[in-house]
Structure 1
C-alpha cells in the first residue's frame, strides 16, 4: 500500500470553534440528533417538532451562517457551510420542514427509530415526551395545510399504516413506564385518526412535486447542481449497460439460453446463496463485515483502530429498510449496520445481500464515517459528525460496492449478479424519481402514473413485494434522495479518474477524499484536486 502523508494538525480557527458551539447548540435543540451523533446529555429529551421548534433551529442556523462570513476559517469549511446551511434555510423558508410527511424520513419515523435504537438510559423519559412531540408535529402539519402545503395522499396512507403498530401493537412495550407507554400509544392513535379524518381529505392525489421543488431537493441530496434532463437520459442509458452485463452473467451462471429473469429465479432457489432465519442473516453479515475489515485494513485502506469493530443488527421497526448508524463521537458506541426485516420474512439470498454488507460496512459507510470521525486534528466537530451529504455518502457506498468487484471479492458470478442487480436498482431510481416528479414521458411514451411506476420498478429489481412497496413509496415521498446514490457514484468515479490522471494512486485518492468528511461533491473536487 502506498504510504499516505498525514496532514499537519492545526490549531482550531475561530470558525472551527464557532462550529463546535453550533453542534452543541443543535444537540440541545434536536435531542434525537444528539443521540445519533453520540453527544451525551440529551437522551432523556425529545424535541416537539412544532413551528416554534423549526424557527429556533433556523434562527441558530442563520446565526452560524453569519459567523461563516465574519470569522476566520479555512476556505473548504466556509464553502461547505454556506452550501449546506444555506440549503437548510431555504428549505425552512419554503415551509418544507413544516409539511414533512412520508414513509421513511419524517418526524414519526424519527421518534420511532430513536426509541428503538437508542441506549436504555434516558429512553423512558423520552417515551414520556412522545405525546408533546406528536402534538407539535400536528401543529406544524396544520400550519402547512393552512398554507396549501399537504403531502400526497399516498404518503398519508403509508404513515397511517406505520402508526398502527405504534398505537396498537407491541413496538413500544417495555420502552418506558407503563403509564407513559400507554399515553404514547394513545398519542400515535390520535395522530393516525387526525390524519385520516382531517389531513387526508386535504391531500393531493398527485405524487409529483414539480421541477422547482425538485431542483432544490436534488441539490440538497446530490451536493452538486444536476442537469436533471441529462441525468434522466443517462439513467436510461446506464440501465441498458447494466442489463447487458446481467445477460452475460446469466449465461455464465446457467448457460447460453438462460434469460436474466430466469437466472434470478434460479439464484433465489439455489441453496448455495440462501439463508434461513433472521439469526442466520445476522451471523452471516457479521462474518462478512469482519472479514472485509481484516482483509482491507493496511492493504487497500488505512482503517483506524477505533473503527475495526462494527456491529450487525436487526432493526425491530421491520420496515424493510437497510441503513448504517455511525459511532458515538467518543467511540463509546460502535458503528452499526441495521437490517429492518419485514414481518414474516425468513428467507434471505446472499447473492443479493453481499454488496449491501460492503455498502453499509467496509469499505462503505463504516469506513467513510470512521475516517472522518478520527480527523479530530483537521476537521471541526460539525464536519466530522453533523455534516452529511447523500451524494457524497451514498455515492461513496455505491462506489465501494463496485470497488470490491474491482478488488476480486465478487468474482463468483452469483455475487457479481447481485452487484449488477443493486446497480440496476440505483439506475432505475434515477429514471423513476426524475420521471415521476418532473412528470416526464415514461420510456414507453406515456405518463409516470402509479401503476406504470410500480411495473417499471418491478421490471428492474429482484426484491420481495414488501421491500418493493416500501422502496416505491420512499421515492414518491422523498424526492431527489434516491437518485443521489447513482449520481453520487458517477461523480466519485469521475473524480477518481481525474485524480488518476493527476498521478494520484487509488489508496492516496481514497484517503485524501475521505479525510474531508461528507461534503458536497462539487466542493470535494476542489479539496482533492485543488
Structure 2
C-alpha cells in the first residue's frame, strides 16, 4: 500500500535505522551494514529529534482508509511513548542486567550473517567496533550522573559481573571457531581481543567509578514507572488496581497448581510433585536437549497449521539455539529478518547445566515459538502491504508478551499439556508471571505487601521462589531483571488479560458466527497494537 502515512512510516524506519544501524539489524530490519552505532548523548538526542519531527509531520496527514487509520494510530502511540522515555532521560540510565543495551550489543555479533568472507569481515568489524560503542554508552551514563539521573547501584554491580563473563574469552569463541582458518581469521581474533578488552574495561568502570555514584534505591518511583509502563503496555492503566489484581490472580493459579500436583501423585504438594517430575522427566546432554526442543517446535507447527492458524510457508520452521554463555536465566526469541533470510530463533540459556528437565519447558516452547512469538512476529514479516513498515518492525511488550501467554493458555485449551507434569509446568509459568506483576509494581511504586511489610530484594526473591514457583537457579537473575527494567515484567500477565478479554468480546459480539481460526488470522494481521486500542482494532476488522 502507498499513502502519505505509509510513506512516512517507511521513512521513519529508514531514518531511525540509519541512526542506530546496529540495533536495527539485530531487530531484523534491512539496513546497510555498519560496524557501530552512536550510543553517546548526541546519538540519543538525534533519535529523539527524529521522533519529534515524525510526530509533527504525522499530525498534518489525514488517513485515507482503515489501514491508514491503524498505521497512523500505531505510529503516534509508539512515538509518543518513546519520546516520553527520552524526555525523562532513560537512555542516560542504560545500566541494567541481565537484559539491556550492553547485552544487545554482545548479541548483535551472533545475529550477523556469517556465510561469506564479506560476512565474516563484517563480524570482525563489529567486534573491533565494540570499544567505540561502549565509549559512547559510557559518555551517556556519565551525562546521566551529571544530570542527577543515576541508575541503581545493584544494576551497576550485576552488569559488571555480566561484562566480566563476556570478557572471559569464551563469549565469541564458538562463533570464531566455526569460521576455521581463512583470510578473515586474523581480523576476527583481533576484533575479539578488542571486544574482550572493552567488556573488561566497562566492567571496571561500573565497579570502580559508576557504582559509588549510583542510586542506593532500586525503585524507579512513580514518574519513571508510569512512563516505562506506558512504553511497555501501550496503555495508561490503574497501577494500584493492577497490583491488587496480580495478587488475586496469583491466588487463583496457586489453587490450580495444588489440584494439578495431586494428579502427579495423590496427596502430593506442589514441591513434592516437582521433585518427582525432576527425577523422571528430563534429558541429558546438550544435543539431547536441543533435539527435544526442536522436535517440540516442529510438532507444534504441524498440529496448528491448517487447524487453528494459517501458517505461511516461510514460518514453518523455528531454529533452536543453545545460548551457552548467557546469564539471562530465561529463554528468548529473535524474529526473522525483513527479507526472511535470517530465520526466527529461540534461544535457550544453559550455563553449566547438562541435565535438563522437560516437564516445565514445554509451555516455554509454545510461548517463544508457535503459537507464540514466532507466529506473531513472523506474521508481521509476511502480512504484505496491509501493514506499514513501522508496524512490521515495532514492538509493544504488553501486546507481544501478552500474546505469548495467550499462546500458552491456548495450548492448554487444546489439551496439549498431556505429558506427565507439563500442565503443572504451564501453571508454574503462569504463577511466575503473576508474581512478576506484584513484585514489579510493588517494588517500583513502594506499595505494601498484603501483610503490610515493605518490599526488599530478598523479599522479592522469596515471593518469586515460593509463590511464583521460580526455579532456584533463576530467581536472582529474574529479580535483578525486574529491578532494572521497570514496567516490563507485568506486561506478560496484563497483556494476556487484554487478549483474553478481546477474544471474549468477539465471542459475545459474533455469537455462533465466531470462528477462532479466522479471529487468530485477523489478530495477527493487525501487527503490534497498544493495549489501549487492541479491542477496538479487533472490533473494526470483525
Q: When the two structures are superposed, what TM-score results if normalisation uses the length of structure 1?
A: 0.94
Are residue 117 (structure 1) and residue 111 (structure 2) matched?
yes
* 2:360/2:425 contact within 8 Å kept: yes
Unmatched 5+ stretches in structure 2: 177-186
* Counterpart position of 1:149: 149
CA displacement at 1:41 relative to structure 2: 4.6
1:228-243 aligned at under 5 Å gives the runs 228-243=239-254
* Counterpart position of 2:61: 71
* Counterpart position of 1:3: none
Tell me the distance in 1 between the aligned counterparts of 2:358 and 2:194.
42
* Counterpart position of 2:375: 367
* Counterpart position of 2:313: 305
Tell me the distance in 2 between the aligned counterparts of 1:370 and 1:111.
23
Cα deviation 1:36-64 (Å, max 9, x = unaligned): 24344533422131001101111222222
* Counterpart position of 1:441: 448
* Counterpart position of 2:283: 275
Corresponding residue pairs, total: 515
Tell me the distance in 1 between the aligned counterparts of 2:486 and 2:502.
25
Tell me the distance in 1 between the aligned counterparts of 2:32 and 2:349.
26
* Counterpart position of 1:213: 224
Tell me the distance in 1 between the aligned counterparts of 2:34 and 2:446.
44
CA displacement at 1:491 relative to structure 2: 0.5
* 2:457/2:479 contact within 8 Å kept: no
* 2:437/2:493 contact within 8 Å kept: yes
Judging changes above 3 Å, is the alpha-carbon distance between structure 1 residues 412 and 166 closer, same or farther for their aligned structure 2 residues? closer
Cα deviation 1:105-157 (Å, max 9, x = unaligned): 33211111111232221111111111111111100011000011111111111
Tell me the distance in 2 between the aligned counterparts of 1:258 and 1:457.
21
1:359-508 aligned at under 5 Å gives the runs 359-384=367-392, 386-412=393-419, 414-503=421-510, 504-508=514-518
Cα deviation 1:209-241 (Å, max 9, x = unaligned): 112211111111112222111111111111111
Name the SS of the counterpart of 2:337 in structure 1.
coil
Cα deviation 1:282-341 (Å, max 9, x = unaligned): 111110111111111011101111111111111233212311111111111111111022
Name the SS of the counterpart of 2:274 in structure 1.
helix
Name the SS of the counterpart of 2:345 in structure 1.
strand
Are residue 315 (structure 1) and residue 323 (structure 2) matched?
yes
CA displacement at 1:244 relative to structure 2: 0.6
1:64-213 aligned at under 5 Å gives the runs 64-73=54-63, 74-120=68-114, 121=119, 122-173=122-173, 175=176, 176-213=187-224
* Counterpart position of 2:350: 341
Name the SS of the counterpart of 2:333 in structure 1.
strand
Tell me the distance in 2 between the aligned counterparts of 1:345 and 1:393.
29
* Counterpart position of 2:522: 512
* Counterpart position of 1:261: 271
* 1:34/1:42 contact within 8 Å kept: no
* Counterpart position of 1:324: 333
* Counterpart position of 2:301: 293
Unmatched 5+ stretches in structure 1: 1-10
Name the SS of the counterpart of 1:502 in structure 2.
helix
- Alignment root-mean-square deviation, CA: 1.5
Judging changes above 3 Å, is the alpha-carbon distance between structure 1 residues 204 and 355 closer, same or farther for their aligned structure 2 residues? same
1:10-89 aligned at under 5 Å gives the runs 11-73=1-63, 74-89=68-83
* Counterpart position of 1:6: none
CA displacement at 1:169 relative to structure 2: 2.8
Name the SS of the counterpart of 1:177 in structure 2.
helix
Cα deviation 1:317-374 (Å, max 9, x = unaligned): 32123111111111111111110222x1112111110010011111111111122221
Name the SS of the counterpart of 1:351 in structure 2.
coil
* 2:123/2:188 contact within 8 Å kept: no
Which sits farther off after the overlay, 456-465 or 418-427?
456-465
Name the SS of the counterpart of 1:151 in structure 2.
coil
Tell me the distance in 2 between the aligned counterparts of 1:97 and 1:522.
25
Tell me the distance in 1 between the aligned counterparts of 2:55 and 2:25.
24
Name the SS of the counterpart of 2:415 in structure 1.
coil
* 1:392/1:519 contact within 8 Å kept: yes
CA displacement at 1:463 relative to structure 2: 4.3
CA displacement at 1:474 relative to structure 2: 0.3
